Amino acid sequence: MVGLIILGSTLFTNQPGIAQTITPSDVWQVVYQRLPDFPRENKYINKENGKVAENNTLANRLIRYHVYTKGRPPNYRLDWKLTLADYLGANEVMYDSSYPGNDTLRENPIEGDRAAIARLTRSQRNTLLEVLVNIFNPTSQNTSAPRPNTTANPTTSKTPQPPQRTGAELLK
């Protein structure tokens, strides 16, 4: 059994035979190693020194929002889906004042980050979810969702489907 313990800003993964420490401040670098085309969104200026905050990336802020702002566990795919739904405006409201980077950057990156996530395709978002879950829960690599283009998705149909009607349209 694998356990995940959050102490301060360090995540400890207890795995039989493997001692591993993952800090959220390091995870964003692994995300970009595995997904080099994932948007960096690191053009923002640091309030204190007036320089570009190159390490304050979208992946870094996404992880901090997920773990610290929302308090969601980082090792479950569903929780990451909820976080992406926040970014897409389909779940919980994201508040400017509590968004990571708001207190350290001259410009709050929330709108740019939401736009960057919205530009990703569903396949890219699913790949991001898989990478994040696998980083925080390495044993899930064997049980995660199939990679794109490796197996058929039974819920995806090639036959065009009629548009879904809402309640108001059904009353007409």
User: Would you say residue 1 has pLDDT above 90?
Assistant: no
Most confident of 23-32, 102-111, 153-162: 102-111
Cα 132–chain centre separation: 7
- Residues in a beta bridge with 10: 7
Beta-carbon count within 10 A of 75 CB: 21
> What mean pLDDT do residues 82-90 have?
98
Residue 141: the pLDDT is 61
pLDDT over 60 at 97, yes or no: yes
Helix (H, G, I), strand (E, B) or coil at 100: coil
Does pLDDT of 105 surpass 60?
A: yes
- Where do the domains of the chain lie? 3-159
Q: What are phi and psi of 136, to 5 degrees?
A: -80, -20
Q: At what angle do helices 77-87 and 122-136 cross, to 10 degrees?
A: 130
Whether pLDDT at 18 is above 50: no
pLDDT value at 3 more than 60 = no
Report residue 132 as tokens: 């994040």
Percent of the chain with pLDDT over 90: 64
Q: What is the pLDDT of residues 108-123, one digit of tens each?
A: 999 999 999 999 999 9
Residue 6 has what pLDDT? 46
> What's the pLDDT band for 168 if we cut at 50, 70, 90?
low
Q: Residue 52 forms beta bridges with which residues?
A: 45
